[in-house]
């Protein structure tokens, strides 16, 4: 089975899992991540098939989106084996998608993503910032019933993964300070870092304007 066929089948698999998503992690997000990963690959010597497969599949086992991540991962690994991926490729894809999230970075695990994973992580995090990132943050927060803003509730720092996942202690605006504004300095590749500069400024300008309007500053 050639690479194009494998990626076509993976694309269909991802659509079947995330096509009905209402949290900002639907197929439109996946498509942007894949496209950005392709762009970054132009400057990085990583395995294209592994990188793009991981880009397509990275949210299909996410613990905030699926009820049983271990079962979802086992199903995914079986699916990849059916597409004639080698054991080494399946292991690398699995490692990437289980270790690339921001939430995972809050743990004390000592690990480093392979270059293919660094590219996917960069592509995913770039989609979390800028104008799209603003929209997705509001969309996700609204889906989970988060408060928009409370100036008396300070952004959290030094969070554990469990604390980060507790949306009772978060507002949509605080999410920018707790995560989104930090992503620019956590990116791996120079291509991603260059793209992030403008997107960071978009978010900073938005936050300034939001607070001015919140406080009726004219």
CATH number at residue 173: 1.10.3210.50
* pLDDT score, position 166: 84
CA atoms within 13 A on the CB side of 157: 1
Number of domains present in the structure of the chain? 1
> In terms of residue numbers, what domain contains 99?
3-214
* pLDDT score, position 108: 63
* pLDDT score, position 163: 86
* pLDDT score, position 105: 85
For the chain, the 3-state helix, strand and coil shares in percent, each to the nearest 5, are 65, 0, 35
- Give DSSP secondary structure letters for 90-138: HHHHHHHHHH-SHHHHTS-------HHHHHHHHHHHHTTSHHHHHHHHH
Q: How far apart are CA 21 and CA 124, in angstroms?
A: 16
In this predicted model, what pLDDT tens digit does every residue of 116-144 receive, in sequence order? 999 999 999 999 999 999 999 999 999 99
Band the pLDDT of 180: cuts 50, 70, 90.
very high
Distances (CA, A) of 2 to 8, 45, 78, 85, 171: 10, 20, 18, 11, 46
Q: Which of 64-78, 118-132, 154-168, 190-204 has the lowest mean pLDDT?
A: 154-168
Q: What is the mean pLDDT of residues 38-49?
A: 98
Is the pLDDT reported for residue 161 higher than 90? no
Is the pLDDT reported for residue 188 higher than 80? yes
Is the pLDDT reported for residue 162 higher than 90? no
Band the pLDDT of 165: cuts 50, 70, 90.
confident
* pLDDT score, position 64: 87
Model's pTM, two decimal places?
0.95
* pLDDT score, position 127: 98
In this predicted model, what pLDDT tens digit does every residue of 71-128 receive, in sequence order? 999 999 999 999 999 999 999 999 999 999 998 888 767 789 999 999 999 999 999 9
Distances (CA, A) of 78 to 69, 86, 187: 14, 11, 31
Three-state DSSP at 171 gives strand
Band the pLDDT of 147: cuts 50, 70, 90.
very high
């Amino acid at each position: 089975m050639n690479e194009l066929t494998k990626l076509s089948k993976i694309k269909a698999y991802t659509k079947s899992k995330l096509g009905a998503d209402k949290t900002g992690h639907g197929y439109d997000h996946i498509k942007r991540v894949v496209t950005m990963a392709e762009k970054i690959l132009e400057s990085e010597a990583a395995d294209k098939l592994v990188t793009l497969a991981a880009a397509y599949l990275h949210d299909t086992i996410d613990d905030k989106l699926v009820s049983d991540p271990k079962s979802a991962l086992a199903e995914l690994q079986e699916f990849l084996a059916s597409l004639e991926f080698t054991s080494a490729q399946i292991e690398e894809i699995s490692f990437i998608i289980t270790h690339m999230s921001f939430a995972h970075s809050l743990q004390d695990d000592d690990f480093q993503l392979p270059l293919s994973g660094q590219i996917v992580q960069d592509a995913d995090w770039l989609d979390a910032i800028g104008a799209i990132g603003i929209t997705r943050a509001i969309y996700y927060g609204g889906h989970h019933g988060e408060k928009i803003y409370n100036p008396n509730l300070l952004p959290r720092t030094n969070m554990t993964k469990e604390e980060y996942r507790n949306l009772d202690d978060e507002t949509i605006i605080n999410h920018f300070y707790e995560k989104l504004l930090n992503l620019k300095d956590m990116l791996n590749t120079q291509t991603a870092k260059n793209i992030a500069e403008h997107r960071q400024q978009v978010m900073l300008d938005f936050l300034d304007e939001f607070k001015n309007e919140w406080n009726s500053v004219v």
